[in-house]
Homo-oligomer: A and B are copies of this chain.
Amino acid sequence: MKQKDVKIPEATIKRLSTYINCLEKLDGDGYQVVSSDLLGESCQVSPAQIRKDLSYFGEFGVRGVGYGTRSLAEQIKKILGLDHIWTTVLVGVGHLGQALLNFTAFRQHGFRIVGAFDADPAKIGTVVSDGVVIEPVSALDDTIHREQAGIGIITVPAANAQETADLLVEGGITGILNFAPIKVRVPENITLRNVSILSELDNLAYLLSNRTRRRSRKKS
């Protein structure tokens, strides 16, 4: 992976993630080699787009032949940094937090949740998934250090998201995935991503409200 130092579009990174899924599906279907055409068909991206995306990072295919299904998936995982375990903590074990803690695909993608924290005293001590016990927020710092956690997931109510982010940063986390519908602020050196499920639904509502006279776009 030689990663030319041109800027990589964010959209490219998003697609790489989906390529992995499609490649694994195709691998399961028995394809040992896939062309950009076939892969594009499978994940609804144009073949040229796939080749361009990959070309940012190097050459992974064989001209006239295609890409090794399994090996390309591995390469992409390496590009995305999924070739090693990301130790993760989650704060706010409510409805969404519970769901994420039980989301087995995380583990398969290399994310291991090693700590779950909540402010509600009644929840402390509860076992939430294999081996993980809910701890008080006061234990965040210790656990982050002991487990060398690098990623923090925020699933507390919006009103408490900023303070939670602050605690995570203070504890030494370098990346945050925030599910609260609010823009939390973090220092320059912290990487933050927001997941807004509500805005996806809003988007759907908009599309449905304006179906008449719409160009035939087939994005996502």
Q: Do B206 and A80 touch across chains, with their CB atoms under 8 A apart?
A: yes
The stretch among A66-74, A135-143, A163-171, A208-216 that forms the contact with chain B is A208-216
Cβ contact of A193, chosen from B13, B177, B220, cutoff 8 A: B220
State whether the Cβ of A35 lies closer than 8 Å to any Cβ in chain B. Answer: no
Cβ contact of A204, chosen from B42, B43, B191, cutoff 8 A: B191
State whether the Cβ of A195 lies closer than 8 Å to any Cβ in chain B. Answer: yes
Q: How many angstroms between the C-alpha atoms of A209 and B85 in the bound complex?
A: 12
Q: A174-B208, A175-B204 are in contact. Are A196 and B99 (CB under 8 A)?
A: no
CB distance from A94 to the nearest CB of B (A): 8
CB distance from A211 to the nearest CB of B (A): 7
CB distance from A5 to the nearest CB of B (A): 7
The stretch among A14-22, A47-55, A116-124 that forms the contact with chain B is A14-22
CB distance from A179 to the nearest CB of B (A): 9
Q: Do B18 and A196 touch across chains, with their CB atoms under 8 A apart?
A: yes
**Interface range for A:** 35 or more
Q: A174-B208, A203-B13, A204-B175 are in contact. Are A95 and B106 (CB under 8 A)?
A: no
Residues in B with CB closer than 8 Å to A18 are 183, 196, 199
Q: A80-B203, A176-B204 are in contact. List 11 more A-B contacts (CB 8 A).
A: A14-B199, A16-B202, A17-B196, A22-B183, A79-B206, A80-B205, A81-B210, A82-B202, A109-B202, A174-B208, A193-B200
Q: State the A residues within 8 Å of B (CB).
A: 3, 5, 7, 10, 13-14, 16-18, 20-22, 25, 42-44, 79-82, 86, 95-96, 98-100, 102-103, 105-106, 109-111, 150-151, 174-177, 181-183, 188-189, 191-211, 213, 215-216, 219-220
Q: What are 5 A-B residue pairs whose CB atoms fall within 8 Å in the complex?
A: A7-B215, A81-B205, A96-B103, A188-B216, A191-B211
